[in-house]
Amino acid sequence: MSDARTEELAGALDAVRERIAAACDAAGRPAGDAHLVVVTKYFPAADVQRLADVGVVDIGESRDQEAAAKLAELAPDVRERLRVHFIGQIQSNKARHIAAYADVVQSVDRAKVLAPLARGALERGRVLPVFLQVDLAGDDEGRGGVLPAQLPALADATATTEGLELVGLMAVAPLHVDPAAAFDRLAVLSQRLHEDHPGATLISAGMSGDLEQAVAAGATHLRVGSAILGVRPARR
Ligand SMILES: *Cc1c(COP(=O)(O)O)cnc(C)c1O
């Protein structure tokens, strides 16, 4: 598929990649050190297809039903080339289903979802990489996340669950807080996690509006939606 929308997406993708490269450069990090996940939530399968056509591999989705339906619309060879990151809140009764299609889950924030995620992964014959989502606001803005004080226990529970692999931390910068300060806090939490869990080295932070601050704080994964796809359609 190559149409005006494909060109629009390719142009926006280039601009975001340039922002990431400049931020890596400014932080003294090698280019390509921060991995781009294109957040396609609320956008149709046709846009995922267009992104795949221009070389995108990592996409992020945040709603179970929407994600599953969208992936089912893609041709199998296109689907196979994608790495799908689930980044939304996980209802425990949906966790097993999410693990049936997600290649990475970034939003684990409580122990209750571990067993069903693991079951879904094992049924699919694979180990599921998971990030723990941290609540940096600590005041329940409704964005989810485990409080920093409860992080070590959740990390231990994740690491000891067969079928899951603890790979790192994810966070969304709280509203009304300097994202640089929030991401620095996340980096400290990541360092501590790393001491107990040497394999958990990844940091998913930074979105369209604050990816530069995230790169400066050491993010390895950036989740960018609107800067590439445009303003999200209203959710139904
Ligand atoms: C929607 C979403 C993003 C992308 O946000 P943009 O501001 O559109 O780049 C990133 N992370 C999470 C968890 C999201 O829900």
Cβ contact 131:106 at 8 Å: yes
CA-closest residue to ligand 1 atom 7: 208
Question: What's the predicted TM-score (pTM) here?
Answer: 0.96
- Which CATH number is associated with domain 4-229? 3.20.20.10
- Which segments of 80-208 are extended strands (E)? 83-86, 104-108, 128-133, 164-170, 202-204
Q: Ligand 1 pocket test: which of 38, 62, 106, 133 has the largest number of ligand atoms within 8 Å of its C-beta?
A: 62
> Which of residues 142 and 203 earns the better pLDDT score?
203
Q: Which two tokens stand for residue 75?
A: 């041709």
Q: Quick one: pLDDT band at residue 155, thresholds 50, 70, 90?
A: very high
Cβ neighbours of residue 48 under 8 Å, at least 6 residues apart? 40, 59, 70, 74, 78, 82
Give 210-228 pLDDT, tens digit per residue. Answer: 999 999 999 999 999 999 9
Give 4-63 pLDDT, tens digit per residue. Answer: 999 999 999 999 999 999 999 999 999 889 999 999 999 999 999 999 999 999 999 999
Domains of the chain, residue spans: 4-229
Between the CA of 41 and the centroid of ligand 1 the distance, in Å, is 8
Q: Which two tokens stand for residue 11?
A: 């142009």
Q: Quick one: pLDDT band at residue 235, thresholds 50, 70, 90?
A: low
Q: Quick one: pLDDT band at residue 3, thresholds 50, 70, 90?
A: very high
